[in-house]
Amino acid sequence: MLWLCLHLPMLPLSALGASQPDAVVVDQRGSQRWLITPTADFKAGTALARALSLTPDLKVLVRRPAAEWTALESLAYWIYRFGQPVTAEIQDLAEPGRSPRALLWVEIGHSLALFGGLKALRDLLCGELLTLGHAAQVGIAPTRAGAALLACAVPCDSMPVREAQDGAASAPTSLRSDTATRPRAGHFEPIHDTVELKRTLARLPLSLLHWPGERLHALDGVGLRTLGDLFALPRDAFAKRFGVQAQLALDRLLGLASEPCDTLVPPETFRRRFELSAEIEEVERLQFPLKRLCTELQAYLRARDRGLRGVTLTVSHAGARQTRLHAQFVDPHRDAQRIFDALRERLERDGLPLPARELLLIAEDFDEASVPQSDLFDARAGQAQAWAAAIERIRGRLGDDKLWVPMAVADHRPEHAMRRAPLPEAIDEAASLVTQPRPSLLMTEPWAMPPPVLPPDAAFERIESGWWDGGDVHRDYTVLDINGGRAWVYREIGSGQWYLHGWFS
Amino acid sequence: MESALPTRLIERPDPRTLLGTKVWRAHEQAQIKAEPTGFAALDRVLPGGGWPLGAVSEVLHARPGVGELSLALPLLARLTQAQRPIAFVAPPMLPYAPRLVGAGVKLSHVLVVEPAQAQDRLWCSEQLLRAAAGAVLLWIDKADTQWLRRLQLAAEENEGCVLVYRPDRFAAESTPSALRLRMWREQGAPQVQVLKCRGMTPKPLDLGDDADALSAPQRRAA
């Protein structure tokens, strides 16, 4: 087993859809409130009162665990394409000063050959993660717990952390205590075997363990500083003093005990709810969250190897009112940009009747994806995609009924001999019954006209049909020149009224 | 020093040796990519021998029923049979499916778009051309030069054909289109006049046998 673990320290913030650099998420326990996401000035765990006293214009958001889990779950569906099993966990101690740890694991041991090696896989994964709008630290190790610890130990180089001076933050030792011993890169070198894992872990500080503060304090008090100190202790004595659970956790870290976990598998349908941090009135400001949902949907489609036929976006407003938008695609695809364009065109056309509070993206209509395989000599596959995308853009702007394909129908009555086939529909080339000349432009409704002067050699084509479905016609058609244009006219048998029905354009 | 200037002028190399065939000289016919119209007499007078590819062509006619759509049908049939999509944008009436089938057009590659506003018609045409439409037939009254240029650029991208159908009262107006045809019917026979064609001086045209094909059907049924 080779586990790749992502640690997402900014997940509480990104799950709320906030993108401002000065926004922080706070957790609360009793009267204590503390930051759980780091900013440029403060590290996670700083008391909110202290942060506000130094930076009064900090944008404070309250943590929403449910949103965090949804965001983590959708990331799990994305990472599914890199290997399986996939599992995710948010480790939350609910202790003042401690941040929750959002962790996502994927077993990559079997996928290495497919992606062209560990480095290629990691680079691809990190690149895609950035486009999804998440920052993560990566750890790779033979055990889940080991990979998680390595991921958490990765230093955040880009974030200079102002040391918390007050004692309110009760993390026993500073996270930066031994920066010098860590590699400077954004990740540890991948670890392939347990011996090497033990050697690497032994150098890490105890404070990295996501254990209750009480236990860490006790260990710190005994004079244990690194994990190596823990590994050197006699097992029985350690278990007796700190509990069997602590010993079990250590064993799992080193691969001495099994690590049961619930695996995550993408569900049959995609439903993603996104609560907006504030009411939004302008369509433009919905673009950012919408784009993100579309990217997630694309990741889901890739993981399940499906193509999308139709997608529904429900925008919720105050007072349980909703606006529903539906986009149907010409061919099944999994292109986030196309999904986004189709939904945005519809949003811009209709506008928002009321400020939006929540977005819900549902995709249930799937098919085999017609993903263009790259072909050196044939550009047609790409052109078909471009054509379908253009049709969707036009349909989004004009409405569904303004686009159609003319289709011949085997019927003798002229107005029933064709129909407007809506897209997307499999068009079959029906045999036409017509043997006589037919006009190239047909009027939607025949125009009544005064009786024309007929040439002496006028020939008529009689059409009598349709008694079975109520559309009974009895007509004599002929071709006539009217004002220099060649027209198709008929006389209704019975009433004798003349009508203009089409032009030989 | 003074004698250096004329010498240099005389020794100036032939531009074609420097730039190859990219230089066009006014007395030569320009290289024009075109698709045959399917009417031999018309092809003979058009530069390149047909509808110019990647360019805007205008068909001016006073009223429907002069054979203006029949003029394009052989082109549409050829394009759709080669699996290229074509589009009718804002036709004044229904493009009649049985007639299209009769002319050999594959209906599965035909799209009809009905935008109400002139601006949307041009926008749709541009979108379709950029998505590699084989031909776009656009019905529009007023089209300003700027939009015709945009269509021209979109057509160049994928070598699409644009046929713009307009009333013939705009015949005197000058436009950037590569080809301008005027159509009418005289004593039952269709007439085509080339008003402008990029690449050569318009020549008078006698449709001859093609007139029968264009004026189908004969009034006297066989």
Per residue in B135-177, pLDDT (tens digit) is: 999 999 887 888 889 999 999 888 899 999 999 898 888 888 9
Q: Does A40 touch chain B (CB under 8 A)?
A: no
From chain B residues 12-71, the ones with a CB under 8 A of any chain A CB are 62-70
Separation in Å, CA of B32 to nearest CA in chain A: 24
From chain B residues 67-96, the ones with a CB under 8 A of any chain A CB are 67-70, 73, 83, 85, 91-96
Cβ atoms within 10 Å of B93's Cβ, excluding its own:
18
Q: Is A146 exposed, middle or buried (0-12, 13-18, 19+ CB in 10 A)?
A: buried
Give CA–CA dist B89/A394, Å, rounded: 11
- Residue for token pair 């003074």: B2
Query: Do strands B86-89 and B110-113 pair parallel, antiparallel, or not at all (unpaired)?
Result: parallel
- Lowest-confidence region among A10-14, A46-50, A169-173, B39-43: A169-173
B125 or A28, greater pLDDT: B125
Joined tokens for residue A483:
């004002």
Q: Shortest CB distance from B107 goes to which of A383, A427, A502?
A: A427
Cα distance from N-terminal residue to C-terminal residue, chain B: 84
A323 or B199, greater pLDDT: A323
Give CA–CA dist A421/B107, Å, rounded: 10
Whether the Cβ atoms of residue A350 and residue A325 lie closer than 8 Å to each other: yes
Q: Which residue type, as a one-letter code, is found at position A389?
A: A
Whether the Cβ atoms of residue B137 and residue B163 lie closer than 8 Å to each other: yes
ipTM of the complex: 0.84
Torsion sign, CA atoms A124, A128, A129, A130: positive
Torsion of CA B181, B187, B189, B193, to 10 degrees: -20
User: Residue A447: is its pLDDT beyond 80?
Assistant: yes
Torsion sign, CA atoms A140, A146, A152, A156: negative
Q: What is the mean pLDDT of chain B?
A: 84
Structural domains of chain B sorted by starting position, each given as residue range(s) with its CATH number in brackets: 31-211 (3.40.50.300)
Identify all chain A residues contacting B186, using CB atoms and an 8 Å cutoff: 484
Q: Is A474 exposed, middle or buried (0-12, 13-18, 19+ CB in 10 A)?
A: middle
Q: Which of A141, A148, A34 lies closest to A90 in space, CA to CA?
A: A148
A393/B68 touch (CB, cutoff 8 Å), yes or no: no
A505/B120 touch (CB, cutoff 8 Å), yes or no: no
For chain B, how many helices (H) and strands (E)? 8, 10
pLDDT score at A179: 34
SS3 sequence, A399-451? Answer: CHHHEEEEEECCCCCHHHCEEEEECCCCCCCCCCCCCCCCCCEEEEEEEEECC
Identify all chain B residues contacting A504, using CB atoms and an 8 Å cutoff: 65, 67, 70, 215-217
Q: Is B67 exposed, middle or buried (0-12, 13-18, 19+ CB in 10 A)?
A: buried
CA A445-B164-A430 angle, to 5 degrees, is 50
Separation in Å, CA of B36 to nearest CA in chain A: 19
B100/A502 touch (CB, cutoff 8 Å), yes or no: no
A418/B66 touch (CB, cutoff 8 Å), yes or no: no
What number of residues does chain A have?
Answer: 505
Identify all chain A residues contacting B111, using CB atoms and an 8 Å cutoff: 391, 403-405, 423
- Across A292-316, average pLDDT: 88
Whether the Cβ atoms of residue A200 and residue A244 lie closer than 8 Å to each other: no
pLDDT score at A131: 78
Query: Do strands B34-35 and A498-503 pair parallel, antiparallel, or not at all (unpaired)?
Result: unpaired
The Cβ-side half-sphere exposure at A59, using a 13 Å CA radius, reads 10
Structural domains of chain A sorted by starting position, each given as residue range(s) with its CATH number in brackets: 3-254 (no CATH), 270-401 (3.30.1490.100), 433-503 (no CATH)
Give CA–CA dist A434/A417, Å, rounded: 9
User: Residue B127: is its pLDDT beyond 70?
Assistant: yes
Torsion sign, CA atoms B81, B87, B92, B97: positive
pLDDT class for B186, splitting at 50, 70, 90? confident
Identify all chain B residues contacting A402, using CB atoms and an 8 Å cutoff: 113-115
Whether the Cβ atoms of residue A434 and residue A499 lie closer than 8 Å to each other: no
Joined tokens for residue A365:
């209509």
User: Residue B7: is its pLDDT beyond 60?
Assistant: no
Q: Shortest CB distance from B217 goes to which of A390, A419, A504?
A: A504
Separation in Å, CA of B102 to nearest CA in chain A: 8
A479/B217 touch (CB, cutoff 8 Å), yes or no: yes
Strand partners, A275: A358
pLDDT class for A157, splitting at 50, 70, 90? very low
Whether the Cβ atoms of residue A405 and residue B111 lie closer than 8 Å to each other: yes
- Lowest-confidence region among A133-137, A231-235, A316-320, A324-328: A133-137
